[in-house]
Structure 1
Protein backbone atom coordinates (compact mmCIF):
# COMPACT_ATOMS: atom_id res chain seq x y z
CA UNK A 1 0.00 0.00 0.00
CA UNK A 2 1.23 3.48 -0.85
CA UNK A 3 0.05 6.66 0.86
CA UNK A 4 2.58 9.09 -0.66
CA UNK A 5 0.18 10.44 -3.28
CA UNK A 6 -2.68 10.86 -0.82
CA UNK A 7 -4.57 7.91 -2.32
CA UNK A 8 -4.60 4.41 -0.96
CA UNK A 9 -3.24 2.06 -3.62
CA UNK A 10 -2.95 -1.70 -3.25
CA UNK A 11 0.16 -3.15 -4.91
CA UNK A 12 0.56 -6.85 -5.62
CA UNK A 13 3.74 -8.35 -4.19
CA UNK A 14 5.06 -9.12 -7.69
CA UNK A 15 5.12 -5.44 -8.71
CA UNK A 16 7.67 -4.12 -6.20
CA UNK A 17 9.72 -2.39 -8.91
CA UNK A 18 6.66 -0.61 -10.31
CA UNK A 19 5.60 0.33 -6.78
CA UNK A 20 9.01 1.83 -6.05
CA UNK A 21 9.07 3.77 -9.33
CA UNK A 22 5.56 5.12 -8.75
CA UNK A 23 6.44 6.18 -5.21
CA UNK A 24 9.64 7.88 -6.38
CA UNK A 25 7.75 9.66 -9.17
CA UNK A 26 5.19 10.91 -6.66
CA UNK A 27 7.91 12.14 -4.30
CA UNK A 28 9.89 13.86 -7.05
CA UNK A 29 6.83 15.62 -8.46
CA UNK A 30 5.41 16.81 -5.11
CA UNK A 31 6.03 20.40 -4.01
CA UNK A 32 8.13 20.44 -0.83
CA UNK A 33 7.11 22.86 1.88
CA UNK A 34 10.64 23.94 2.75
CA UNK A 35 11.68 24.76 -0.84
CA UNK A 36 8.37 25.62 -2.45
CA UNK A 37 9.49 23.59 -5.49
CA UNK A 38 9.47 19.98 -6.63
CA UNK A 39 12.77 18.06 -6.48
CA UNK A 40 12.51 17.48 -10.24
CA UNK A 41 12.28 21.19 -11.01
CA UNK A 42 15.25 21.94 -8.75
CA UNK A 43 17.45 19.24 -10.30
CA UNK A 44 16.27 19.16 -13.93
CA UNK A 45 14.85 22.65 -14.40
CA UNK A 46 11.48 21.23 -15.48
CA UNK A 47 8.62 19.20 -14.06
CA UNK A 48 8.45 15.45 -14.66
CA UNK A 49 6.08 14.29 -17.37
CA UNK A 50 4.13 11.09 -17.87
CA UNK A 51 3.88 9.29 -21.23
CA UNK A 52 0.30 10.57 -21.51
CA UNK A 53 1.69 14.12 -21.49
CA UNK A 54 3.50 13.35 -24.75
CA UNK A 55 0.19 12.44 -26.38
CA UNK A 56 -1.85 15.35 -25.05
CA UNK A 57 0.76 18.13 -25.31
CA UNK A 58 1.75 19.53 -28.63
CA UNK A 59 5.46 19.51 -29.26
CA UNK A 60 7.13 22.88 -28.95
CA UNK A 61 9.07 24.34 -31.82
CA UNK A 62 12.71 23.36 -31.80
CA UNK A 63 14.64 26.48 -30.86
CA UNK A 64 18.03 24.87 -31.20
CA UNK A 65 20.29 23.12 -28.74
CA UNK A 66 22.28 26.21 -27.75
CA UNK A 67 19.13 28.23 -27.13
CA UNK A 68 17.62 25.37 -25.07
CA UNK A 69 20.78 25.06 -22.95
CA UNK A 70 20.86 28.81 -22.36
CA UNK A 71 17.22 28.86 -21.22
CA UNK A 72 17.74 25.78 -19.06
CA UNK A 73 20.74 27.36 -17.33
CA UNK A 74 18.76 30.54 -16.69
CA UNK A 75 15.82 28.55 -15.29
CA UNK A 76 18.11 26.50 -13.02
CA UNK A 77 19.91 29.60 -11.70
CA UNK A 78 16.60 31.29 -10.96
CA UNK A 79 15.15 28.16 -9.35
CA UNK A 80 18.23 27.62 -7.17
CA UNK A 81 18.20 31.26 -6.05
CA UNK A 82 14.51 30.98 -5.12
CA UNK A 83 15.12 27.72 -3.25
CA UNK A 84 18.08 29.19 -1.32
CA UNK A 85 15.96 32.20 -0.32
CA UNK A 86 13.02 30.00 0.74
CA UNK A 87 15.32 27.65 2.70
CA UNK A 88 16.86 30.65 4.49
CA UNK A 89 13.40 31.90 5.47
CA UNK A 90 12.28 28.42 6.60
CA UNK A 91 15.49 27.95 8.59
CA UNK A 92 14.96 31.26 10.40
CA UNK A 93 11.32 30.33 11.10
CA UNK A 94 12.33 26.95 12.58
CA UNK A 95 15.07 28.59 14.69
CA UNK A 96 12.59 31.14 16.03
CA UNK A 97 10.12 28.39 16.92
CA UNK A 98 12.88 26.37 18.63
CA UNK A 99 14.18 29.40 20.55
CA UNK A 100 10.70 30.10 21.93
CA UNK A 101 10.60 26.66 23.55
CA UNK A 102 14.27 26.44 24.56
CA UNK A 103 14.88 26.76 28.28
CA UNK A 104 18.10 28.76 28.44
CA UNK A 105 17.67 30.26 31.90
CA UNK A 106 19.45 28.57 34.76
CA UNK A 107 18.54 28.19 38.40
CA UNK A 108 19.87 30.34 41.24
CA UNK A 109 21.17 29.10 44.60
CA UNK A 110 18.25 28.90 47.03
CA UNK A 111 15.63 28.54 44.28
CA UNK A 112 13.01 25.80 44.61
CA UNK A 113 12.97 23.19 41.84
CA UNK A 114 11.24 19.90 41.03
CA UNK A 115 12.98 16.71 39.91
CA UNK A 116 11.42 14.41 37.32
CA UNK A 117 11.72 10.88 38.72
CA UNK A 118 9.04 8.56 37.35
CA UNK A 119 8.61 5.49 39.55
CA UNK A 120 6.25 2.89 38.20
CA UNK A 121 4.27 0.74 40.62
CA UNK A 122 2.86 -2.47 39.24
CA UNK A 123 -0.92 -2.50 39.10
CA UNK A 124 -1.28 1.31 38.96
CA UNK A 125 -1.79 3.39 35.86
CA UNK A 126 1.32 5.50 35.05
CA UNK A 127 -0.96 8.50 34.54
CA UNK A 128 -2.08 8.34 38.16
CA UNK A 129 1.41 8.04 39.64
CA UNK A 130 3.54 10.99 40.70
CA UNK A 131 6.46 11.59 38.37
CA UNK A 132 7.85 14.73 40.01
CA UNK A 133 9.60 14.94 43.39
CA UNK A 134 10.08 18.07 45.35
CA UNK A 135 10.35 20.79 45.90
CA UNK A 136 14.12 20.65 46.21
CA UNK A 137 16.34 23.63 46.97
CA UNK A 138 19.36 24.45 44.79
CA UNK A 139 22.35 24.31 47.16
CA UNK A 140 25.15 25.01 44.69
CA UNK A 141 25.47 25.63 40.99
CA UNK A 142 28.37 23.56 39.69
CA UNK A 143 28.08 24.98 36.13
CA UNK A 144 25.34 26.20 33.77
CA UNK A 145 23.50 22.87 33.68
CA UNK A 146 24.71 20.85 36.69
CA UNK A 147 23.35 21.59 40.17
CA UNK A 148 23.54 20.18 43.68
CA UNK A 149 20.03 20.00 45.14
CA UNK A 150 18.64 18.97 48.53
CA UNK A 151 15.08 18.32 49.72
CA UNK A 152 15.70 19.58 53.27
CA UNK A 153 18.79 20.32 55.41
CA UNK A 154 18.85 16.76 56.82
CA UNK A 155 18.38 14.99 53.46
CA UNK A 156 21.18 13.70 51.25
CA UNK A 157 22.26 16.04 48.43
CA UNK A 158 21.80 15.04 44.79
CA UNK A 159 23.84 16.19 41.82
CA UNK A 160 21.60 16.62 38.80
CA UNK A 161 21.90 17.75 35.19
CA UNK A 162 19.18 20.20 34.15
CA UNK A 163 18.26 18.50 30.85
CA UNK A 164 19.10 14.86 31.57
CA UNK A 165 17.48 14.66 35.00
CA UNK A 166 14.67 17.07 34.02
CA UNK A 167 14.92 19.66 36.75
CA UNK A 168 12.19 22.29 36.50
CA UNK A 169 10.76 25.28 38.33
CA UNK A 170 7.29 23.75 38.16
CA UNK A 171 6.41 20.08 37.79
CA UNK A 172 4.45 20.67 34.58
CA UNK A 173 7.44 21.91 32.52
Structure 2
Protein backbone atom coordinates (compact mmCIF):
# COMPACT_ATOMS: atom_id res chain seq x y z
CA UNK A 1 0.00 0.00 0.00
CA UNK A 2 2.71 2.47 0.98
CA UNK A 3 4.73 1.69 -2.16
CA UNK A 4 1.67 2.20 -4.36
CA UNK A 5 0.84 5.50 -2.68
CA UNK A 6 4.44 6.68 -3.12
CA UNK A 7 4.54 5.67 -6.80
CA UNK A 8 1.15 7.30 -7.40
CA UNK A 9 2.08 10.66 -5.81
CA UNK A 10 3.25 13.60 -7.92
CA UNK A 11 6.97 14.27 -7.32
CA UNK A 12 8.19 17.84 -7.11
CA UNK A 13 11.28 17.22 -9.26
CA UNK A 14 9.45 15.74 -12.28
CA UNK A 15 5.93 17.07 -11.80
CA UNK A 16 4.65 13.57 -12.57
CA UNK A 17 4.03 10.36 -10.70
CA UNK A 18 6.63 7.58 -11.14
CA UNK A 19 3.91 5.41 -12.76
CA UNK A 20 3.14 8.14 -15.31
CA UNK A 21 6.83 8.76 -16.01
CA UNK A 22 7.59 5.06 -16.48
CA UNK A 23 4.46 3.66 -18.14
CA UNK A 24 2.67 6.74 -19.50
CA UNK A 25 -0.57 6.04 -17.63
CA UNK A 26 -1.84 6.27 -14.06
CA UNK A 27 -3.28 3.14 -12.44
CA UNK A 28 -6.07 3.26 -9.89
CA UNK A 29 -5.86 1.46 -6.58
CA UNK A 30 -9.53 0.86 -6.01
CA UNK A 31 -11.89 -0.88 -8.39
CA UNK A 32 -14.65 1.18 -9.94
CA UNK A 33 -17.45 2.36 -7.68
CA UNK A 34 -19.99 0.38 -9.65
CA UNK A 35 -21.89 -1.81 -7.16
CA UNK A 36 -21.69 -5.56 -7.70
CA UNK A 37 -23.87 -8.46 -6.66
CA UNK A 38 -21.09 -9.76 -4.41
CA UNK A 39 -21.16 -7.97 -1.02
CA UNK A 40 -17.67 -9.22 -0.11
CA UNK A 41 -16.21 -7.57 -3.21
CA UNK A 42 -17.87 -4.25 -2.37
CA UNK A 43 -16.62 -4.51 1.21
CA UNK A 44 -13.06 -5.29 0.04
CA UNK A 45 -13.15 -2.34 -2.38
CA UNK A 46 -14.27 0.02 0.40
CA UNK A 47 -11.59 -1.31 2.77
CA UNK A 48 -8.87 -0.86 0.15
CA UNK A 49 -10.01 2.68 -0.60
CA UNK A 50 -10.01 3.58 3.11
CA UNK A 51 -6.50 2.15 3.54
CA UNK A 52 -5.25 4.05 0.49
CA UNK A 53 -6.61 7.34 1.85
CA UNK A 54 -5.01 6.62 5.24
CA UNK A 55 -1.61 5.96 3.64
CA UNK A 56 -1.94 9.08 1.48
CA UNK A 57 -2.68 11.22 4.56
CA UNK A 58 0.27 9.69 6.43
CA UNK A 59 2.60 10.53 3.53
CA UNK A 60 1.30 14.11 3.44
CA UNK A 61 1.86 14.50 7.19
CA UNK A 62 5.39 13.10 6.91
CA UNK A 63 6.16 15.52 4.09
CA UNK A 64 4.85 18.45 6.15
CA UNK A 65 7.01 17.40 9.12
CA UNK A 66 10.09 17.18 6.90
CA UNK A 67 9.61 20.61 5.33
CA UNK A 68 8.38 22.36 8.49
CA UNK A 69 11.86 23.31 9.70
CA UNK A 70 13.05 24.62 6.32
CA UNK A 71 10.95 27.76 6.19
CA UNK A 72 10.78 28.28 9.96
CA UNK A 73 12.93 30.71 11.86
CA UNK A 74 16.31 29.41 13.08
CA UNK A 75 17.09 28.99 16.77
CA UNK A 76 18.01 32.31 18.39
CA UNK A 77 20.89 32.68 20.85
CA UNK A 78 21.62 35.71 23.01
CA UNK A 79 25.15 36.97 23.57
CA UNK A 80 26.48 35.37 26.76
CA UNK A 81 24.12 32.41 26.48
CA UNK A 82 25.64 28.92 26.46
CA UNK A 83 25.24 26.50 23.55
CA UNK A 84 26.18 22.91 22.79
CA UNK A 85 28.23 22.32 19.62
CA UNK A 86 27.44 19.27 17.51
CA UNK A 87 30.65 17.24 17.25
CA UNK A 88 29.94 15.64 13.87
CA UNK A 89 32.14 18.12 11.93
CA UNK A 90 34.88 18.37 14.55
CA UNK A 91 37.77 16.00 13.91
CA UNK A 92 37.98 13.97 17.12
CA UNK A 93 40.44 11.13 16.69
CA UNK A 94 39.11 8.34 18.87
CA UNK A 95 39.35 4.57 18.53
CA UNK A 96 35.65 3.98 18.97
CA UNK A 97 32.96 6.26 17.49
CA UNK A 98 30.55 4.95 20.12
CA UNK A 99 32.68 6.48 22.86
CA UNK A 100 33.06 9.84 21.13
CA UNK A 101 31.13 12.79 22.53
CA UNK A 102 28.14 13.76 20.39
CA UNK A 103 28.09 17.35 21.65
CA UNK A 104 30.94 19.53 22.82
CA UNK A 105 30.71 22.31 25.34
CA UNK A 106 28.76 24.11 26.48
CA UNK A 107 30.42 27.19 25.02
CA UNK A 108 29.49 30.83 25.49
CA UNK A 109 28.03 32.73 22.51
CA UNK A 110 30.15 35.86 21.99
CA UNK A 111 28.75 37.36 18.79
CA UNK A 112 25.85 36.97 16.38
CA UNK A 113 27.33 37.04 12.88
CA UNK A 114 23.99 36.58 11.09
CA UNK A 115 20.64 34.88 11.69
CA UNK A 116 22.28 31.55 10.90
CA UNK A 117 25.85 31.95 12.25
CA UNK A 118 27.25 32.56 15.73
CA UNK A 119 30.74 32.99 17.17
CA UNK A 120 31.52 30.85 20.22
CA UNK A 121 34.16 31.31 22.89
CA UNK A 122 36.28 28.18 22.44
CA UNK A 123 39.22 27.22 24.65
CA UNK A 124 42.61 27.97 23.05
CA UNK A 125 43.40 24.24 23.04
CA UNK A 126 40.75 23.67 20.37
CA UNK A 127 42.34 24.80 17.14
CA UNK A 128 39.22 25.18 15.00
CA UNK A 129 37.34 28.15 13.56
CA UNK A 130 34.99 29.66 16.14
CA UNK A 131 32.02 30.61 13.90
CA UNK A 132 29.34 27.95 13.50
CA UNK A 133 26.09 27.45 11.62
CA UNK A 134 23.06 27.62 13.93
CA UNK A 135 22.03 24.08 12.90
CA UNK A 136 25.13 22.75 14.68
CA UNK A 137 24.22 24.52 17.92
CA UNK A 138 21.63 23.58 20.52
CA UNK A 139 20.44 25.33 23.64
CA UNK A 140 21.76 24.33 27.06
CA UNK A 141 18.99 23.23 29.40
CA UNK A 142 20.00 23.32 33.04
CA UNK A 143 18.42 20.88 35.46
CA UNK A 144 18.64 21.83 39.13
CA UNK A 145 17.84 18.29 40.27
CA UNK A 146 20.74 16.62 38.50
CA UNK A 147 23.68 18.95 37.91
CA UNK A 148 26.66 17.22 36.33
CA UNK A 149 30.01 18.87 36.02
CA UNK A 150 30.83 19.72 32.41
CA UNK A 151 34.00 18.09 31.18
CA UNK A 152 36.52 20.19 29.26
CA UNK A 153 36.96 19.44 25.55
CA UNK A 154 39.95 17.36 24.47
CA UNK A 155 43.25 19.14 23.92
CA UNK A 156 44.20 19.51 20.25
CA UNK A 157 47.92 19.85 19.51
CA UNK A 158 49.00 20.03 15.85
CA UNK A 159 45.76 18.39 14.72
CA UNK A 160 46.21 15.53 17.19
CA UNK A 161 44.15 15.29 20.35
CA UNK A 162 45.81 14.60 23.66
CA UNK A 163 44.03 13.05 26.61
CA UNK A 164 45.10 12.38 30.13
CA UNK A 165 44.04 8.78 30.67
CA UNK A 166 43.51 7.54 34.19
CA UNK A 167 43.38 3.94 33.02
CA UNK A 168 41.57 1.47 30.81
CA UNK A 169 39.52 -1.02 32.76
CA UNK A 170 39.17 -3.63 30.01
CA UNK A 171 40.14 -3.86 26.32
CA UNK A 172 40.04 -6.67 23.79
CA UNK A 173 41.12 -6.92 20.14
CA UNK A 174 38.98 -8.99 17.80
CA UNK A 175 39.55 -9.11 14.04
CA UNK A 176 41.73 -6.00 14.12
CA UNK A 177 39.18 -3.89 16.04
CA UNK A 178 39.46 -2.79 19.63
CA UNK A 179 36.55 -3.28 22.01
CA UNK A 180 36.51 -1.39 25.32
- Higher alpha-carbon Rg: 1
Q: Which structure shows the higher strand fraction?
A: 2
Structure 1 and Structure 2 fold alike (TM over 0.5): no
Q: TM-score, normalised by structure 1?
A: 0.40
Q: TM-score, normalised by structure 2?
A: 0.39
